[in-house]
Structure 1
Amino acid sequence: RSDPYNFKTGKKNLKTAKTSSRKRAQKTKSNTCHQCGKSFIHKQSLKAHMRIHTGEKPFTCPQCGKRFGHKGNLMNHMRIHTGEKPFTCQQCGKSFGHKGNLMNHMRIHTGEKPFTCQQCGKHFTQKWNFIKHMRIHTGEKPFTCDQCGKSFAHKETLNSHMKNHSGENSYVCQQCGKSLSHKISFKTHMRVHTGEKPYACSQCGKSFGYKQSLDSHMRIHTGEKPFTCQQCGKSFSRKGDLKLHMVVHTGEKPFTCDRCGKSFGRKVNLNQHVKMHFWRDLVLEF
């Protein structure tokens, strides 16, 4: 095989270099996926890639029977059974079964938050937490109860809800009879009756019974508006305000007057309308 570099003259053999380059291009072209156009240097790499399109999974876990399209994925999976954790954090000594998990963990030490919400500017260390956060803006609720049809944004919330159907709720409020599945949920619920407000605003001193209420209140001071209308781009500091705003686009009028049957998109408009009936009745009495 002729070398594209001539050591005697110290110059490149352009003819040989062009031939080598042409051969590499021809080889790469022959290893091109006809479905997505992706090219590979080695035929074996193309063969492995084609399993993405065919769905073929020739590698089977001998312990649980789970199948994989690539040998490397099977080897990574086997660590679940063997308990092997070859990737260790040099700062705290914590070990992981996958390199990706170690890389995610390292952000705790570096403070890196590469996932940024384009709607409210909030930053996240983990991609999964970013995906869950986005459901605040999109209103997506992918986890549905198969017994009552109620949907939830997070799997944990669904799991907690399912205990209402299974009868696992072990904490019963003696004042109102409500059943709860977790001690912390029961403790939080009791504030409805005790009036306890342990969460205080550091800026104005106003207190709240729930952390979510304090978080919502803090947006008054920060000006943050994380709830954005997907149709017109208008943003709101509270989810309830976005819900009320959506009536403008949907034309929905859920608030109906008991006296005349007239419907309104907002409760405040219904209240004003009811006052009109009150004053009319007052005038007629005189």
Structure 2
Amino acid sequence: MKLVRYGRPGKEKPGLIDNEGKLRDLSGVIADIGPDTLSAKSLAKLAKLKHASLPPVRGTPRFGVPVAQVSKFVCIGLNYSDHAAEAGMPLPKEPIIFMKAVSCLSGANDPVMLPKGSVKTDWEVELGVVIGTMARHVSEKDALNHVAGYCVVNDVSEREFQLERGGTWDKGKGCDTFGPVGPWLVTRDEVPNPQRLGMWLDLNGERAQTGSTRTMVFPVAKIISYASRFMTLMPGDIIATGTPPGVGMGMKPPRFLKPGDEMRLGIDGLGEQRQPVVPFKL
């Protein structure tokens, strides 16, 4: 299934994309798509519905973050060897974990706002993993059983804040609008192998990133198992698993986002995002 939350910010309704690509309303069945609806049992009930009988949604509404009540937005750094090389950083021996503030979450096609004082805002297409059942000290063998589904994430990053202002990476990662997620959550049954997904990002119509989850340093199962040693992963938590090469800071000369730019990005089977870049505004 492809599950969505559609409508104005803060007023999103649950929905799904049927086999013909049409948006159907789920608000008569569930109140929202969140922690209580992401278990295998709950998702199985939704899958058994006759999707053609659900009310169609007219027009082209906005898609919000496909999961409500996200408690943690966990990220993995330098998880592609060629991206580590372009960043001039050594390949990690263990997964690098950092956090994005949940206040940065935004819809797949919402504008990305440059933060006040930004000079080096960058892009990163990433595979997002949505946790479906609590994971605490889980094995790699069992890790994927805790996944509800997968989605596209743009890990927007302000590099000066991240790398040149001292402290941890987090301050360059959690600015408002820096976490576009979606357009939909694709349930685990439709992604039999998360390590075989092509991914790409275009800036102003020109290809910037091309990659595949095949080349991850640490695969999804390893990431979930590893992270679950240090924090309890809860239903609805999102893990962004790293980006392939082609980010702005790795270009020669470096290239960063400016107002008027447009990013378009996608992952095989998980849909596409499109974000205009806008200046800072309170």
Q: TM-score range by the shorter chain?
A: under 0.3
Instruction: Give the number of the structure whose residues are more often strand, by fraction.
Output: 2
Which has the bigger relative contact order, CA under 8 A and spacing at least 6? 2
TM-score (structure 1 length as normaliser) = 0.18
Instruction: Give the number of the structure whose residues are more often helix, by fraction.
Output: 1
**Structure with the greater alpha carbon radius of gyration:** 1
TM-score (structure 2 length as normaliser) = 0.18
